[in-house]
Structure 1
């Protein structure tokens, strides 16, 4: 359906373009369509709002009803417990333990806390779900202000709720209506929270700091008394967590449990006989280990990973060497602590956009610590991901240049410098035979991506073959030097990447060159080229010299400005030498050398046959001399230069070019004969 819609849109656009006359009418049509689109979008939004309004109202009504049902259920439960308590007193004639004043105080405190929780559930949206999921012991709540850790500026107004196992933060809803003016925003486990006191310094007073695994948050209380209560509540939750097998004196105990204990019923809250026979040494060790976990969490939050790993290794060794039986919960917590530490170190190596200069030092540090934790393979993978991301970002920052050679070499320098730096850092941290394969594979894979970018610029149809040759030869020299610097060769991979596009480039240049030669041959007028002035003659000599013709050309120039060559021969010589200069230096393999040699022989043979056909139709001696001058220029000046280039770059002569010279040698001027009549 989506494809058919796109087809209809395409047909409609074609129809509109065909109907419009001129750019002005087309722009008016475009504006009209944009206006229709905006009106349609506005109408759709209004319809969505009207359709959703009843649903939103129904949801609000349902939420209010659920809140009222929850409140009613809590009130019924409280009344039931209170009536049961009164019934016990009346039946036992005030002789049961439940009739004691301290038990009555605990019962009243519990009822008061539950009533307070009901009120909080009415004002804090989302709190009822937390309370219904698991029965939690409530400790304290207060209104606080969150501050920015950097400059201590106010960020948000919050309500803090402290339970024995969780710490809840609810944000203030300024535009909310009804009773629920707060919304539960964050929930943290008590074992993940480390509370740190903040000294009273201007302008911050009555503040405390919460250290979390991945962040640090600062809060300010309304007064000093509230701050003291908050700190005591956190300390109480910590003591309850550290002593799970002992009954805390500050923890309210249900009255029914005390009645059952003193009544010697079968079900009791704690088995006193088991507590008496518990191994005191094991309990003390577990408490000490739990305290060490808190210190370890603080070190992790403060990013002192070296000390954290040292403490973790000591803790792990202590648990392993301990003769007492350690609780499985502590062992699982140790494993989770190790996983969290590894995850943090991996995130230290996670690439980020616009990383600072110190980032490589951070990566090196994280990599060393992961290796210390016996996670060498993981460290290598994350380091490679980091190197890959940084390289892509640096290549993306290279601006496109009109000069293709400069742009390509900038990219190559970025790649080479990054590979050298990354390899040096990698070998310093994890330098051995097995790990080196990671950096080699990454360098080769990155080279493939780099070549894909460079090939679009180098082997474009608009790029001249001389520029292609300059880029390819410069890159070959650069990668050869890079191989000497890093210790592994990348030239083979580079050659594999450019082999196919280089072949296509040479064949495309051959087609253009032969087509141009044929067109000039058909338009041949067999007249000498008039260079008009001495400056043009010197320019011609300079061009030929740059293309490799070192011999004197004065014998082919008459009266300083009259070049004794046809326009087609002159242009053919320049194109022939240009193609030879570029392609011979790029051809490294035997296949490529054979291809280039065949193209040169084919082009030379075509133009020399063109000269030979005119020679067979000569009319007088002057015309014969002019034709021989053209043939001699190619056979004595141009083709020998190409032969020398073949010997220089290929270390062998071009036999086919030698046969070409021998085949058309009868067209050259005779020795000692005057070249000008």
Structure 2
């Protein structure tokens, strides 16, 4: 090669070029192994150069992305400020235009409310305000009508008590005794009030940890009154109870441990101080969703809460703790174990366990079963509808009943230590889930407007009943419930299938030639027919005429043999689906089929050439097959006499 390889390397670094064309040009001038080694070095240089450039471009794009994100954040902040300003302008215009209307409404609603009314009177006027009686000594300081500013402005009534503040919305029946409905109840020590300077008539109340309420007064003077009243009530509350209100614990002899009287008093004082801090500690745990710690604190303080003295501030502290307990219970009950952190494993048992520790057995059972229902339905939806109907029903039944049985076993283990009996809740849950399963099963096996083939419906029902026996491990026999839920679909299937048999029988009768049926020994059809009739203890040989060759003739017409085959399939299907609820439908269907086939034989033409086949077929149906069917039904299906079908043999109405 005329030029050294360093020349190409320098060219690679200094010029913009097409790598593909450059490599093709190098490969044209290859003479020996040294040239090939030089090309390898150039290709590796191209690779490294482009990797470096790609990395630089990635860093550059990343920097541009960060810059764009900052600009978007800035624009969002500006849009938020603009929306806030527009809301304030709208509120200001609304307050200027609605002053007269608002004044009239306030006058109309102030008829039954006075400044010095008692708590009992407030409870009568405000729906849901009965919780005000939880803490004795509570009294009202100030009340009045305000406008709550939010996405939609609404008129509310604010009641300021010595330890809390309650908001209530007027109801439609303002002229009745219950003129209001409670919306919020906030403790004074947990709120902060702030005068909103940029909104002339508004003040803001903030509750720990994240609630914020914006109220607008009618005039500037009323806004100042509200702010001053609330701040004064907070200051009075702090001075009245102090930073640490004194409470006493009733001590029994069991609480006294070895030691001096001073040591026992010091321990009781320490436990009382812990109770004073408990509501605030529970607020923190609930806000952080630290449910385990909250439950532990409540259980540790359970005995001390029960020993609170009824005098002093004991009832007030107990009411606050009970309020946090209700809030904690509601939050635990709303936990969904079907998704998120509670989807699988030990985490799915935590909310139930915590409710049991709080002695909330009813809520625990409801949460446990509700989330098990969610998991069950998710498992069912994962089943793919592939293959035959029986294969899908097998997967469906196996998944459903094995899951329900496993839930029962786990339910017994989780709630075995509870004093209250919880098994009725599990039984009710099984019934509800079984109704859902029966609905899904019926949509697949008993579809509306279509006929399921003989044998398929019965096989599916048998599969479902077989898997339902898994629940017997938990002492549940739900076969009767399965029969009740599936009864409409089974009855409709029996009806449709027996109509299909009659229509096929009528069609075969029209095409019947009334000749002996011919069978070939080698095909095995005659043996299958013989095996079928042996189920009913019937002998086919008396109707067979053998020839010297491989052919066998049966002195029965083709329509009778086809009817026997289809009716046998129908009868076996009915046997698998039978229960007492469908007995009448089954007997009616079988009676109709047998009568119809016997009637078709009487319509045979009076021809002497076919008289032998017709008489033989008629004798087979009336003297052998129908009595055999009756015996089969009474012994293997209904386990009871079926006189309705026996009447076919005693009457000639159908002839």
Match of 2:586 among 589, 592, 596: 596
Structure 1 match to 2:456: 467
CA distance in 2, matches of 1:500, 1:446: 18
The aligned counterpart of 1:440 is: 427
1:339 correspondence with 2:326: yes
Match of 1:539 among 511, 525, 538: 525
Q: 1:626 aligns with which of 608, 613, 617?
A: 613
- Is structure 2 residue 476 aligned with structure 1 residue 476? no
Q: Please name the residue that 1:352 is paired with.
A: 339
- Indicate yes or no: 2:515 matched with 1:527: yes
Report the counterpart of residue 418 of structure 1 in structure 2: 403
Partner of 2:371: 386
Is the alpha carbon distance of 1:277 and 1:342 closer, same or farther for their aligned partners in structure 2, counting shifts above 3 Å?
A: closer
SS of alignment partner, residue 301 of structure 2: helix
1: CA distance, partners of 2:432 / 2:273: 52
**Contact 2:397-2:463 at 8 Å conserved across structures:** no
* 2:629 alignment counterpart: 642
Structure 1 position 563, deviation (Å): 3.6
Alignment partner of 1:499 is 2:487: yes
1:582 paired residue number = 573
Which residues in structure 2 correspond to 1:313-328 (within 5 Å)? 313-315=299-301, 317-318=303-304, 321=307, 325-326=312-313
Superposed displacement of residue 342, structure 1: 1.9
CA distance in structure 2 between the aligned counterparts of 1:598 and 1:64, rounded to whole angstroms: 78
1:510 aligns with 2:498: yes
Aligned partners of 2:89, 2:639: CA distance in 1, in Å?
94
Work out whether 1:490 is the aligned partner of 2:448: no
Equivalent residue for 1:611?
601
Residue equivalent to 1:12: none
302-311 vs 441-450, greater mean Cα deviation: 302-311
Cα distance 1:477–1:301, how it changes in 2: closer, same or farther (>3 A)?
same
Contact 2:333–2:367 at 8 Å: present in 1 too? yes
1:304 to 1:581, Cα distance in 2 relative to 1, 3 A: same
Displacement, 1:453?
1.0
Shift of the 546–527 alpha-carbon distance from structure 1 to 2, 3 Å rule, reads: closer
Secondary structure of 1:398 counterpart = coil
Corresponding residue for residue 45 of structure 1:
none
C-alpha RMSD over aligned residues:
4.9
Alignment of 1:94-113 (within 5 A): none
Instruction: State the 1:419 CA deviation.
Output: 2.0
| Corresponding residue number in structure 2 for 1:569 | 560
Spell out the pairing of 1:52-451 with structure 2 (5 A cutoff): 192=209, 288-289=274-275, 305=291, 308-315=294-301, 317-318=303-304, 321=307, 325-326=312-313, 330-331=317-318, 333-348=320-335, 350-352=337-339, 356-358=343-345, 361-431=346-416, 434-451=421-438
| Cα deviation 1:454-483 (Å, max 9, x = unaligned) | 11112222312321122223333433x245
Check the 8 A contact 1:367/1:383 in 2, yes or no: yes
Q: 1:341 is paired with a residue of what secondary structure?
A: helix
Q: Deviations over 1:135-185 (max 9, x none)?
A: xxxxxxxxxxxxxxxxxxxxxxxxxxxxx978xxxxxxxxxxxxxxxxxxx
Judge conservation of contact 1:557–1:563 (CA < 8 Å) in 2: yes
For structure 1, list consecutive stretches of 5 or more residues without a partner in the other structure: 1-54, 67-163, 167-186, 194-211, 213-266, 668-677
Counterpart-to-counterpart distance in 2, 1:516 and 1:568 = 9
Give the whole-Å Cα distance in 2 for the aligned partners of 1:450 and 1:165. Answer: 51
- Distance in 1 (CA, whole Å) between partners of 2:357 and 2:408 is 20
1:556 touches 1:563 (CA, 8 Å); kept in 2?
Answer: yes
1:541 and 1:553 in contact (8 A); partners too: no
C-alpha deviation, 1:320, in angstroms: 5.1
Which range moved further: 310-319 or 498-507? 310-319
Whether the 8 Å CA contact 1:549–1:637 is kept in 2: the answer is no
Partner SS state of residue 409, structure 1: helix
Q: Distance in 2 between matches of 1:276 and 1:513?
A: 89
Offset of residue 443 of structure 1: 0.9
Distance 1:586 1:277 in 2: 77
Rounded to whole Å, the distance in 2 between the matches of 1:380 and 1:613 is 67
Structure 2: stretches of 5+ with no match in the other structure: 1-78, 91-189, 193-204, 212-231, 249-268
Deviation at 1:444, TM superposition (A): 0.8
- Work out the CA distance in 1 between the residues paired with 2:567 and 2:245: 97
On the 8 A contact 1:530/1:563 being kept in 2, the answer is yes
Is the contact made by 2:393 and 2:463 (CA closer than 8 Å) also made in structure 1?
no
For the structure 1 residues 292 and 540, does the alpha-carbon distance in structure 2 shift closer, same or farther, using more than 3 Å as the test? Answer: same
Residue 465 of structure 1: SS of its match in structure 2? coil
Q: 1:311 & 1:634 partners in 2: Cα distance?
A: 83
Q: With structure 1 as the length reference, what TM-score do the two structures score?
A: 0.51
Distance between the aligned counterparts of 1:468 and 1:597, measured in 2?
18
Distance in 2 (CA, whole Å) between partners of 1:649 and 1:276 is 81
Distance 1:659 1:56 in 2: 87
Task: Provide the rounded CA distance (Å) in 2 between the counterparts of 1:63 and 1:598.
Answer: 75
Closer, same or farther in 2 for the Cα pair 1:326/1:496, shift >3 Å?
A: same
Change (3 A) 1:335 1:650: closer
